[in-house]
Structure 1
Amino acid sequence: MAAPQLQLPPDYYLTHFRDLLAVLHSRYHSVLLPQHLQLIETFQQLPITAQRQWVRLLNRKGLVFALKDVEYVEVPDQAAAVAKLLQAGLLDKPSSDEDLADWLQRANKEHLLALVELASGAANPALPLLKKSSTKPQIQQYIEQHQLLTPASIQLWSEQHGELVALRAQTELQYLYFLYFGRFETSLTAFTLRDLGILPGSGFKQEFQARYTDRDQALAAFAYARLKPELQSLQQGWKSLDLLAQEAALRQWQQQMLEWPEPLDERTRLQREALCTALGRLTEKLLTHASADVALVDDAHRQRAALTQLAIGFYQQSASYPASERLLRLYYANRSDPQMAEALQQQLQQMLENPSCDDELWFARDFASRKLQQKPTSDLTDFLRSAATITLDELYLGQTERGAVHFYRQQGYQAFHAENELWLSLFGLLLWQPLFESEQSAIYNEFERRPRDLSSGEFYRRQQPLIEQQLALLADPAVAVKQLLKTYSAQFQKANAVFSWHPDLATMLPLLVHGAPAGVLAKIIRQMTQDFRRCSSGFPDLLLARESAAGTPEIQLVELKAVGDSLRRNQLTRLMSLRELGFAVSLMQVQWWQSPDRVYVVIDVETTGGKAENDRITDIAAYKVQYGDIIDEFSSLVNPQRRIPYFIQKLTGITNDMVASAPLFSEIAAKLTEFIGDSIFVAHNVNFDYGFVRAELGRCGYPLQLPKFCTVVQMRRAYPGLASYSLGKLAQQFDIPLHNHHRAAADARATVELLKLIQAKTVVGVVEPEAMADEVLEAHR
């Protein structure tokens, strides 16, 4: 049965648009230009049916629409409404390059072929033949290559296939959206998502101030907001361009930069820097490819030099990291040029004496020692070489942090996968009021879940007294913890875009506050308020805690690196900074082993269907296995409280009569949970059985989170090349008894034999737990 469709109230879209205009007119009147005020007035003077038609079009994707596709019940006379919109200049016939590109992108294959037929016949009958079997992208390419899409051809198509209209006043409308949302938007989808419950309002504030009160500041910010999607479009299509087209595009951006407005606020300045840095990186990509293509121009050396200067020019427009790093590397690569060598020294001195952030300072120090003082290895290499090794059970492959937490808890630690979330939560809970509730909080509408000035230093500058008042609480850990837990209780699970509600947060926060070196947390949080963009990430994976002799927690921070992982620059910076601040910080390299002491629970279930969220278990069997021997077993039929489909009865032999007197799953859940314990969950196609058992236990209030071992996957690895890896075929292949296939006990017992076969093929490396513990503890001393 199909879900009932949501019935939207009459004039739903129109009401939202009118509300938006009312907010803009009252709150942002001072930053509106005459054309924006004219747009609002023009719309308000339209008949209501014309308003409805235009607003419905605004909430659809695209610019060009066939009128027959946009008919609405609330617009009974579409022709009259469209006539009014054409007269008001809010609609027009498709004619601009943007209109044509939009139609070409969104037209279906049938419409494209119709255009080709009309345009080729009228313009050039000698055009090469286009096969009707061509794909849509091939037809689009054909139309572009032969320039078949013109205002005249689209008008001809419109006359024969249905009238087309194009939206107008889009730049003015986008500015209005920008003032309200603070970012580049093309529709009011957020309101619809709110009303559907998908994107509920934040609920932080009821009264909002204007995002901008200075018109020039607002216009400059809007100009850079519009540039971002343009650059993203270039980045997405970069590989499809040849080298000459790539250079031409970058030269065009270079010329456009001359017309960019001066940023008048910190957020806009950072947006400009990000654009320039991205353009520099694209230029370096081109430089790399052009250097390999000596036939690109007659003088390849001159071409490389020109592209190098182009990249440098982009980076010089950004005063901070990471553009500063790219500049330094380019100067160093071209240091044979005296001017480049001089620029190298000046840039390095600037980064060492006045760094824009810790990342820049650590990079500059490392660069100076390696490149200029001939230090043989980098700080990163030295740090990696200093790492000890932690050996984890290979069942945690892909779940490294979870495996490490389990290991450290076995050694007597309180251990948590904390990463950035712990520090973000400390930041968010300590500064909840200035972030979300104060009058100065830069939250400007109901959809924003974090202050808009958080990415710049404006957050700290605007609310310094209140922020410092909160930071002072950290001087007394007991007072700070009391306040943090009070805020935690009051705001628990309130959605925000600063931190998420970690399940162990209420336990981790007191450990961190009491165990941190004196005065250090206030310094870290202050740095986050001043440069949240750079200082809110890169924190170590794990928080470890043990009680000291004095009864206070001793904490350690651990970063894990498994095979294939890389240590990013911001992670290295954070680890070294935390170590300098007095934290016990370790980098642990992870290696894998297989423990011979593992306890496995091999499980099979039979069910009423294939979906764990809807269907139920009818039969379950479990065997506990250690050292290859079955040491315990559990089995039961289960009353699914619904009829078993006939075809499943035929498959399994389990009938409705057989389960009628069987226990409900809720009646065996406690015993099954105790039986499973913390074993390894084994099954043939493990996600199926695990999903059903977890769903059934979850309904009874028993969470299930265990390592999984799939005998299908492991048999493929241990015995590759077999014709089939189904349980029945494998049982035949390896002479495993399977007398009652598709009953849980029989299938689980056969799966036990598969587990033995897999273990026989697996090389087991044994590391004594005591040796591992000594190694880890030594690394922390």
Structure 2
Amino acid sequence: MKELPSKYYLTHFHEFLGFITGPCAHLLSTEDSAFIDKFHTLCEDAQCLYVRGLNRKSPIIKRTSLFYEEINHHQLHLDTLIAEGFYTQVNQCHLAELTNNLTKPELAQVLRNADISFKTSQSKADYLQLVHEYCQFEDFSPLLEHSTVLHRGKDQHIHYFLFLFFGDLNSNLSKFSMRDLGIMPTQRGVSTDNARFDFIDEAKSAFFYAHQRRQVSTLTASQQVSLAQQFTSFPVPQGTLANEYCDRFLLKLGKAILPYDVPLGINLLAASAEPLAQEKVIREKYKLGETDWVKNRLQEIIEEPESEALLTFAEDFLARKFQQKRTSSLTDMLREQSTKVLIDEMYMDSVEQGVKLYYQKQKKQAFRTENRLWRALFGLVFWHELFEMDSNALVTEFDYKPQAISQNNFYNLYEQDIETRLYRMTSAQLTFKQLSKVMLEKYGRPNGIFRWHKSLLEVLAVFFDHVDIEGFKDHLRMMAKDFKNYADGYPDIMVVDDNGLRFEEIKAPGDQLRKNQLLTIKQLRKSGFKVAVTQVEWFLDPQQPYAVVDIETTGGRANQHRITEIGIAKVINGKVIDSWQTLVNPQRHIPQKITQLTGIDDEMVSDAPLFVEIAESLRSYLSDCVFVAHNVNFDYGFIRAEFERLEQNFRMPKLCTVREMRKAVPGLPSYSLANLTRHFGIDMSRHHRALSDAQAAAELLFIINEVRHQKASDSQSRG
């Protein structure tokens, strides 16, 4: 890993302030500018000491922790920072922050100071609740003697500046370090001559409501009620982003208030334009018996829908509550156009993968798509409009998502360009060629719309071989108009067979169809796409192939050590039908203790293939199998790490013979491979050699599956 200069953080802070005082200068108040001017009057070491403190999560900082080797005369500079207000003494106003920063023993001391009884067995959360409810500032005084704890001052300016720079409240200056260390890719070359806001009122308003929303979850119930009562005195939100943050704030606070004050909670929700808030108002009013109001409101929404999401809810609620319809739209969708498939229960943790393989065994084309296909289609089609047409699209190199997407006004801003691009998409194959060209030019560029993956081009080729171009364009237009609501909820897989292309949403037993999935599936169907809901039923498939794997390694950590041998026993229907074995050159020395354990030394692997040379044959051999091993995460983790070194993904359904033996044969004194083989009389020719151990684990798998089949049979008999 790269090493950064000793005062790298100060360099980053000056880079950060350069943007704030440059493109964002018009967004600064007199107080903001005065803070920056005062910071610039500090000497370098004092600046370093302040910026060091900014990188702390908590504003409560112990004096003794502010000592760094690269900073001289700490106490002198700390006194200067205190005198200038960059740090302050902890006082009554900082009580909540101080409390949240204390350890459990320190909280216990505060409770004892206040003469509050408590039990040592209580959790830290219980301690915090007691302190918040019963303790006064003077109860903390022993912890604050000699000014051992300071409060970081000026945070209101820094938080606002971070909001202007990153566009959210969650980012911090550590992103600069991650960029320079090569950990975080950024949009190099992005112009930083633009600000996120045109006017200071918009910026301050957006920051205010973003901050209000964030703090809701940190408040006690009484504090939330108090905040709700203050809302009428809050400033009117200015600009698109501020209105959005205000609506989200009202939704969050209104839901939090409902258990304590229903009328107040409803009033807050009613003031929010968020569809979920409007839904909640209608549901609460219905509970209160205000059925006439509810019916009229539902009819208003249906006549003039504010959003597709709210329209879907209104139609469904009206039908169920006032027209005697007995099932919801979600239930109807599960029943209509729904198919059932039997999948081996080994795919319980990867049900979509199981269904995909089910279709592939039938010689149908099947791909995992979910959100990534449609997000990729949207990003590739509109790449120019999203990232290149407007210099304001990305404000800093840390931005991934264009502002028009964040503010959900992409179509409004670029309607003519979007329609022109869609008009020129005259055929599916022409569109595929255009998108292939974009992929070739832009592959790997970080963006906030979709993730690149190597199989994307293959999926797109199949998609455009079968898609109706007009339906495709219709759905892209809907995404452009309302990306916020059509960015997710897409079906899990895409299937192509003799009947053409269709999407399938996969639901395992007990899974529910979510509202965003209902909304997206309805829209896909409106655009002419076939979409089915596939319900999975579990069974034990005797023809399910298992690859029972064992590996030998140079040590126990996958990220540090390497594989020296792989052995695989392939099992179908209770029999070992094939085996695969190879030594692997780990490209490093094998420790003596490993050689003593396995018998594998440096000379044995000197002419063995490298992992890269056997990777494809190994992947092919494991294809369509369940990955089985004794302590499966060890073997699976090493093989996955080897593929990751080749920048390849590795994912398979897994079965652990340790875990499953504990279920099948409980109560044994040990479940190690050696002890289990002795217990069941399983022959092991060479313990700690890969194929021998894999074959022994295969015998355990037979026992496990016999028990599973018996349990399944008993369950069917009872049914």
The verdict on a shared fold, with TM-score over 0.5 as the criterion, is: yes
User: For 1:26 and 1:661, how far apart are their aligned partners in 2?
Assistant: 60
When structure 1 is superposed on structure 2, of 320-329 and 510-519 the one drifting more is 510-519
- Could you tell me which residue of structure 2 aligns to residue 580 of structure 1? 526
1:354 matched to which residue of 2? 304
| 1:329 partnered with 2:322 | no
Is residue 312 of structure 1 aligned with residue 269 of structure 2? no
1:106 aligned onto 2:101: yes
In structure 2, C-alpha distance between the alignment counterparts of 1:59 and 1:183, rounded to whole Å: 17
Q: Does the residue aligned with 2:403 lie in a helix, a strand or coil?
A: coil
C-alpha distance 483-718 of structure 1, shift in aligned 2 (>3 A): same
Specify the alignment match of 1:215 in structure 2.
200
Report what 1:34 is aligned to.
Answer: 30
Per the alignment, residue 457 of structure 2 pairs with: 506
Structure 2 match to 1:228: 213
Within a 5 Å distance, the mapping from 1:537-548 to structure 2 comes to: 537-546=488-497
Aligned pairs for 1:614-693 within 5 A: 614-635=560-581, 640=586, 642-652=588-598, 654=599, 656=601, 659=604, 663-664=608-609, 678-693=624-639
Matched position secondary structure for 2:491: coil
Q: Is the 8 A contact 2:110 2:139 kept in 1?
A: no
For the pair 1:367 / 2:367, whether they are aligned, the reply is: no
SS at match of 1:558: strand
Deviation track 1:423-477 (CA, whole Å, cap 9, x = no partner) reads: 1111111111221122254321111101133143432222222222222233432
Is contact 1:75-1:81 (8 Å) kept? Answer: no
What is the match of residue 296 of structure 1?
none
Aligned partner of 2:243 in structure 1 is: 269
The change in CA–CA distance for 1:131 and 1:326 in structure 2 (over 3 A counts) is closer
Report the 3-state secondary structure (helix = DSSP H, G, I; strand = E; otherwise coil) of the residue aligned with 1:191.
helix
Q: 1:225 to 1:142 in 2, by over 3 A?
A: closer
Residues 411 and 130 from structure 1, CA distance in 2 versus in 1: closer, same or farther, beyond 3 angstroms?
closer
Matched residue pairs, number?
A: 710
Distance (Å, rounded) in 1 between the aligned partners of 2:244 and 2:19: 28
- Three-state SS of the structure 2 residue aligned to 1:605 is strand
Greater displacement, 62-71 / 103-112: 103-112
Q: 2:321 is aligned with what amino acid?
A: K
CA contact (8 A) 1:714 1:758 kept: yes
Partner residue of 1:761 out of 695, 704, 707 = 707
Tell me how far apart the structure 2 counterparts of residues 417 and 676 of structure 1 sit (CA, whole Å).
19
Query: Which letter maps to 2:401?
Result: R
Distance 1:700 1:224 in 2: 46
Give the superposition deviation at 1:556.
Answer: 0.8
Q: CA deviation at 1:657?
A: 8.0
* Equivalent residue number for residue 205 of structure 1: 190
- Name the residue aligned to 2:424: 473
Q: Does 1:600 align with 2:546?
A: yes
Alpha-carbon distance between aligned partners in 1 of 2:648 and 2:517, rounded to the nearest angstrom: 37
Residue type of the alignment partner of 1:206:
S
Letter in 1 for 2:78: V
Residue 444 of structure 2 corresponds to residue 493 of structure 1: yes
Contact 1:116 1:148 in 2 (8 A): no
Q: Secondary structure at the match of 1:763?
A: helix
Contact 1:96 / 1:151 at 8 angstroms: preserved in 2?
no
The answer to whether the 8 A contact 2:213-2:253 is kept is no
> Does structure 1 retain, via aligned residues, the 8 Å contact 2:194–2:392?
no
Determine the structure 1 residue equivalent to 2:716.
none
Matches within 5 A, 1:271-420: 271-284=245-258, 286=259, 307-335=261-289, 340-386=290-336, 387-420=338-371
Contact between 2:408 and 2:484, CA under 8 Å: does it hold in 1?
A: no
1:409 to partner: Cα distance: 2.0
Q: Is 2:155 aligned against 1:170?
A: yes
Residues of 2 paired with 1:134 and 1:570: CA distance?
A: 40
State the alpha-carbon separation in 2 of the partners of residues 489 and 255 from structure 1: 56
Name the counterpart of 2:715: none
Q: Compared with structure 1, are the counterparts of its residues 55 and 710 closer, same or farther at alpha carbon in structure 2 (3 Å cutoff)?
A: closer
Q: Which moved more, 1:217-226 or 1:703-712?
A: 703-712
Name which of 504, 512, 515 aligns with 1:566: 512
- Of 260, 285, 298 in structure 1, the residue corresponding to residue 234 of structure 2 is 260
**Structure number with larger C-alpha Rg:** 1
2:485 counterpart SS class: helix
**Are 2:135 and 1:147 aligned?**
yes
What is the deviation of 1:695? 5.0
Deviation at 1:535, TM superposition (A): 1.6
CA distance in 1 between counterparts of 2:531 and 2:201 reads 48
Distance 1:619 1:320, change over 3 A: closer
Unaligned runs of 5+ in 1: 235-240, 288-306, 549-553, 767-781
Deviations, residues 21-46 of structure 1 (Å, cap 9, x unaligned) = 33222222222221112112222233
User: What is the deviation of 1:230?
Assistant: 0.7
C-alpha displacement at 1:97, in angstroms? Answer: 1.9
The one of 165, 168, 173 aligned to 1:180:
165
Instruction: Quote the Cα distance in structure 1 between the aligned partners of 2:493 and 2:390.
Output: 36
Cα offset, 1:328, TM superposition = 1.7
TM-score (norm 1): 0.82
Q: 1:729 aligns with which of 675, 687, 691?
A: 675
My pick for the range that moved more, 731-740 or 270-279, is: 731-740
Q: Percent identity?
A: 34
The code of the aligned residue for 2:310 comes to E
For 1:276 and 1:545, locate their aligned partners in 2 and report how far apart those are by CA, in whole Å.
Answer: 45
* Per-residue Cα deviation, 1:95-144 (whole angstroms, up to 9, x for no partner): 2422x433343345777788889xx5xxx8xx479999998778767766
Code of the aligned partner of 1:147: C
Q: Check whether the contact 1:65–1:165 (CA below 8 A) recurs between aligned residues.
A: yes
C-alpha displacement of 1:310: 2.0
Offset of residue 422 of structure 1 = 0.7
Q: Which amino acid is the alignment partner of residue 709 of structure 1?
A: L
Partner amino acid, structure 1, of 2:84: A
Q: Deviations over 1:166-190 (max 9, x none)?
A: 3322223322222222222684222
Which of 461, 475, 480 is residue 524 of structure 1 equivalent to? 475
Q: What code does the residue aligned with 2:250 have?
A: C
Per-residue CA deviation, residues 485-510 of structure 1 (Å, 9 max, x unaligned), is: 11111110111111111332212234
Q: Select which of 52, 57, 60 maps to 1:61.
A: 57
SS of 1:733's equivalent in the other structure is helix
Q: Cα distance 1:109–1:556, how it changes in 2: closer, same or farther (>3 A)? A: closer
CA contact 1:718–1:762 (8 Å) conserved in 2: yes
Counterparts in 2 of 1:314 and 1:759: CA distance versus 1, 3 Å: same
Q: Distance in 1 between matches of 2:575 and 2:36?
A: 79
The Cα shift of 1:233 comes to 1.5
Is contact 2:251-2:274 (8 Å) kept?
no
Distance 1:68 1:115, change over 3 A: farther
Instruction: Tell me the CA shift for residue 561 of structure 1.
Output: 0.7
User: Comparing 348-357 with 275-284, which one deviates more in the overlay?
Assistant: 275-284
Matched, 1:189 2:185: no
On the 8 A contact 2:404/2:413 being kept in 1, the answer is no
For residues 402-432 of structure 1, give each alpha carbon's deviation from its aligned partner in whole angstroms, at most 9, with x where no partner exists.
1111122222322111111111111111111
Q: Hey, what does 2:223 align to over in structure 1?
A: 249
Residue 345 to residue 110, structure 1, CA distance change in 2 (3 Å) = closer
Between the aligned partners of 2:170 and 2:543, the Cα distance in structure 1 is 58
Structure 2 unmatched runs, 5+: 713-719
